Each structure stands twice: as structure tokens, then as C-alpha cells.
């Protein structure tokens, strides 16, 4: 393990007094090398030392990923020199609203629209139009768990192909014309009402729809299911002077239709081509990376930290920062995940969960790191874990881990390797909401495998 260490020694009292005046003036933009520098000559610390510890990174393929009801439709075709061609396909049921009156038998169809509630678009280039295709599902979605390898039969010919200009904004609702022989037939059947008596007859009549992208676009989409994603029929009954609306959408009010995402990957000719066996840490050469919805995670080997801590006695940690990057190949229109959770992993390279099902991960600085009763890593749904945050200017991830490293040094917390997982938790009005970003898009990140560093500032304490 190659580390670089520097030390700041205690200064004579007169010089310290002069430095104290200068330090006070400059404290608003303090140099990290002065963090924890005590200027009282009678204190118990003899100075501040700095060490930079390189950590190694590898890639682990998790097994099948549950993609049932992630509250996002994830689809499109992403092309990468590192991951290969990744294709997402979204399958969803539809709802009709029995509280909305159906058209009369003599109603006239004015138009049919399709709304897309777009949450994000990831593409190398957004100056050209991007295509979304909507197909008819040919078999029903059952009340079972679906994973990223599951699929259902659907009509390969879309009933709607929308070309969208997303250069100005990506998180918006876009409405397109959806008139076709299929939608005209649905309107006629809607008037008769035979297939709209209950949800079961409706599903027999219309099992659902499927969202796909096209090859060559090199773009992936994330749509939010609900009232604002689906068909709207505008019509007039005999007595109407203005159009009425009847929605058949992917949600009604607060009820979201059952859905799942399929993700296929063709890594031929890329560094990840040999990434086949789950739970194995692969050394892919000089690059590593992770990709949402594929189960491809980056593993950080933290054993060099333990080797360094074993050399220390009687120290106080002033600041410890984990820094990863700079990332490779990211552009504004194809951003990496904003946050990465540093999840603990065991000797089998699997994610580790608490007894109540919470993902175990590094806790925030100055937060509780371990359960004092059991000695296990702390897990509480009301406390958001520490998150590696992406800084676009530097194109890297950073987070402070001072309390975490101090707990390991004291022996209160066992050091463990980490898996970078773009999942994080937030608390809203006292109720815990789980926001699992790993299942809600096809974002990815790549960096050089040697660009992982722990930067540690610490003070040695006098022993009397």
C-alpha cells in the first residue's frame, strides 16, 4: 500500500500567537491542511498529519434484479463502449375510470391524445428528436414479482410512434396525437361498454401497453406512471358544444397500474463482456463502472484503510474524505446518478440487509454508526445514509467519512468493503419513503480503477 504522509509540528508560543491572528482572518476559506490544527501550546495534540490512501475498485454483477412497480417506466437503447448495448422495455397494465361517464352510443370522436409524463432522458446528444414507441401487450401482467430478465409477448408493430424534441427540457409532460385504427376501434368499443363493465373484462380486452425506444437514438427514458401517462379520448355527445375527455391511462388518482421493466444487455466487444457470473468481483483492467437496472455495481476494497489504522495509536481524526473520479465520458445530457449509497458487502460480494430489511450502509458524518447493543452497523429508516455526491464541475464523487473511520479505529464498527448503489432514503412528514434510483433509470458511471482515494487528516494525542 502506497500512502503519502505529511506532518504539521507544534510551533513555539510567540509564533503560534501570530499564526492565531492570521488563522482567524483566513478561517472563512481555510486550507484543508489546517483542519484540526490546535494553536494552544498546552493542548494534548502534537500536530496534524495528512495521508492519502489509494483504494482498489472492481465490478460485481448482482443476481436478478426485482423491477416490479418501481414507479418509473424505464426503456430505450443505451450504447456504451464499456457496458455495450443496453435495451430497456416497459410493460404496464391500464386503468379506466368508472367515475367518468362513458361516451353515448351516438358520440363523435374529436381526437385522441397520448400523454407522456417524462421524468428524465439520458442521451449522448439531445439536439435531434428522440423516438418513443407504444405497443399493445398481448398477454396479461399477473400478480407476481417480475425481474429485469422477465418479458411478455407484445405486438412488435407500435400503434404509436412519437418523435419528441427534448433539447429544451426533459422533465415535462408531452402530448402527441394518437389517432389510429386501433384507437378508433377502442372508442367504438368504449361507447358500447361491453368490455368496460369491470376491471377483469377490461384486462381481457386490453391487457396493457409496452414502451420501447429505437436503436441508433442512444437514449433512454424514465416516465412516471399515473393519470398523466396514457390515452385521452376527446369526444362530443349529441348535446355537447365542447369536447369531453375520457382517459385510459397507467393510473387513476393515486392508484398506479402494475408494471415492470425488462433490461437486456449485449456487452459483446466491451470490457464487461466477461461479466457473467454473479457475486464475483471482476478486475476489468483500468476501468470500472456501475449501471442502474442491470445489477452491475462497483466494489470498493477498503482493506488498505484497516492496514493504515493498525499503525496508529492515540489519534484524533480531523477529517476523512472519500473521493472517486474524475468520471469518464459524462456529458450534461447523460449524467451519472447524483448520489451513490455506500452499501456494506459480505465475503460473498452481496448486499447486506438488517433483520427488518433495511440496506446496511455507511451512515452520515456525526451520525450513529453502530448499534451499541449488538455492535452491528446502525440501520434506521428515519436516518438517511451517507451519500457519495456527484460534483459536476470536478466530475467526481465525494463524501466525508470522519465519524465512520473513527468508529472503525475504536473497534466499535467492523470495517467492511463497499458496493456503490444508487439508492437512498428520505423522510417526508414523518413517513419513510424509499426512493430506489437504481431501478428508476439507466444511468451509469465509469472511472479509472485507480481513482479512488481516502484523504485523512489526523492529530496524534500526547500520552502522559
* Three-class HEC string of the chain: CCCEEEEEECCCHHHHHHHHHHHHHHHHHCCHHHCCCCCCCCCCEEEEEEEEEECEEEEEECCCCECECCCCEEEEEEEECCCEEEEEEEEECCEECCCCCCCCCCCEEEEEEEEEEEEEEEECCCCCCEEEEEEEECCCCCCCCCECCCCCCECCCCCEEEEECCCCCCCEEEEEECCCHHHHHHHHHHHHCHHHCCHHHHHHHCCCEEEECCCCCCEEEEECCCCCCEEEEEEECCCCCCCEEEEEECEECCEECCEEEEEEEECCCCHHHHCCCCCCEECCCCEEEEECCCCEEEEEECHHHHHHHCCCCCEEEEEEEEEECCECCCECCECCCCEEEEEEECCCCCECECCCCCECECCCCCCCCECCCCCCECCCCCCCCCEEEEECCCCEEEEECHHHHHHHHHCCCCCCCEEEECCEEEEECCEEEEECHHHCCCCEEEEECCCEEEEEEEEEECCC
* Residue 354: pLDDT over 60: yes
pLDDT of residue 38: 42
Mean pLDDT throughout 128-136?
97
* Residue 280: pLDDT over 60: yes
* Residue 430: pLDDT over 70: no
pLDDT of residue 426: 55
pLDDT interval class at 163 (50, 70, 90)? very high
pLDDT of residue 11: 36
pLDDT interval class at 435 (50, 70, 90)? low
pLDDT of residue 441: 95
pLDDT interval class at 10 (50, 70, 90)? very low
pLDDT of residue 283: 96
**Least confident piece of the model among 34-48, 167-181, 236-250:** 34-48
Share of the chain above pLDDT 70, in %: 87
pTM, entire model? 0.87
* Residue 34: pLDDT over 50: no
pLDDT of residue 356: 78
Instruction: Give me the chain's average pLDDT, please.
Output: 87
pLDDT of residue 432: 43
* Residue 436: pLDDT over 90: no
* Residue 395: pLDDT over 60: yes
pLDDT interval class at 329 (50, 70, 90)? confident
350 versus 44: which is more confidently predicted?
350
pLDDT of residue 9: 40
pLDDT interval class at 461 (50, 70, 90)? confident
pLDDT of residue 22: 32
pLDDT interval class at 425 (50, 70, 90)? low
418 versus 29: which is more confidently predicted?
418
Mean pLDDT throughout 232-240?
96
Share of the chain above pLDDT 90, in %: 74
pLDDT interval class at 2 (50, 70, 90)? low
pLDDT of residue 372: 83
Amino acid at each position: 500500500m502506497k500512502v503519502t504522509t505529511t506532518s504539521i509540528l507544534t510551533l513555539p508560543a510567540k509564533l503560534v500567537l501570530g499564526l492565531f491572528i492570521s488563522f482567524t482572518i483566513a478561517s472563512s476559506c481555510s486550507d484543508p491542511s489546517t483542519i484540526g490544527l490546535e494553536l494552544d501550546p498546552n493542548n494534548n495534540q502534537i500536530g496534524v498529519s495528512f495521508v492519502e490512501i489509494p483504494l482498489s475498485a472492481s465490478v460485481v454483477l448482482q443476481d436478478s434484479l426485482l423491477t416490479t412497480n418501481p414507479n418509473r417506466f424505464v426503456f430505450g437503447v443505451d450504447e456504451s463502449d464499456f457496458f455495450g448495448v443496453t435495451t430497456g422495455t416497459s410493460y404496464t397494465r391500464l386503468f379506466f375510470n368508472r367515475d367518468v361517464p362513458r361516451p353515448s352510443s351516438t358520440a363523435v370522436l374529436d381526437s385522441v391524445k397520448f400523454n407522456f409524463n417524462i421524468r428524465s432522458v439520458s442521451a449522448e446528444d439531445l439536439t435531434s428528436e428522440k423516438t418513443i414507441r407504444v405497443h399493445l401487450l398481448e398477454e396479461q401482467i399477473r400478480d407476481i414479482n417480475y425481474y429485469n430478465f422477465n418479458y411478455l409477448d407484445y405486438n412488435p408493430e407500435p400503434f404509436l410512434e412519437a418523435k419528441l424534441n427534448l433539447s429544451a427540457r426533459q422533465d415535462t409532460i408531452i402530448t402527441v396525437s394518437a389517432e389510429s385504427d386501433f384507437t378508433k376501434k377502442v372508442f367504438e368499443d368504449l361507447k358500447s361498454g361491453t368490455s368496460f363493465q369491470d376491471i377483469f373484462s377490461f384486462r381481457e380486452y386490453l391487457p396493457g401497453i409496452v414502451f420501447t425506444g429505437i436503436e441508433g437514438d442512444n437514449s433512454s427514458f424514465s416516465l412516471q406512471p399515473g393519470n398523466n401517462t396514457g390515452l385521452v379520448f376527446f369526444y362530443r355527445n349529441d348535446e355537447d358544444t365542447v369536447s369531453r375527455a375520457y382517459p385510459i391511462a397507467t393510473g387513476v388518482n393515486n392508484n398506479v397500474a402494475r408494471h415492470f421493466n425488462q433490461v437486456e444487455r449485449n456487452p459483446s466487444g466491451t470490457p464487461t463482456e466477461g461479466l457473467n457470473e454473479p457475486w464475483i468481483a471482476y478486475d476489468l483492467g483500468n476501468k470500472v463502472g456501475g449501471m442502474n437496472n442491470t445489477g452491475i455495481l462497483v466494489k470498493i476494497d477498503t482493506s488498505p484503510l484497516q492496514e493504515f489504522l493498525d499503525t496508529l495509536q492515540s489519534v484524533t481524526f480531523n477529517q476523512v474524505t472519500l473521493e472517486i473520479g474524475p468520471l469518464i465520458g459524462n456529458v450534461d445530457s447523460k449524467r451519472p446518478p447524483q448520489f451513490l449509497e455506500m452499501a456494506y458487502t459480505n465475503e460473498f460480494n452481496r448486499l447486506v440487509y438488517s433483520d427488518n430489511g433495511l440496506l446496511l450502509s455507511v451512515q452520515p458524518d456525526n451520525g450513529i454508526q453502530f448499534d451499541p447493543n449488538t455492535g452491528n452497523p446502525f440501520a434506521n429508516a428515519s436516518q438517511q445514509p451517507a451519500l457519495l455526491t456527484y460534483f459536476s464541475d470536478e466530475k467526481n464523487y465525494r463524501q466525508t467519512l470522519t465519524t465512520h473511520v473513527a468508529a472503525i479505529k475504536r473497534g466499535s464498527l467492523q470495517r467492511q468493503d463497499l458496493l456503490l448503489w444508487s439508492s437512498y432514503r428520505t423522510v417526508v412528514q414523518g413517513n419513510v419513503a424509499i426512493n430506489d434510483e437504481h431501478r428508476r433509470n439507466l444511468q451509469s458511471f465509469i472511472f479509472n480503477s485507480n481513482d479512488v482515494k481516502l484523504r485523512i487528516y489526523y492529530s496524534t494525542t500526547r500520552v502522559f
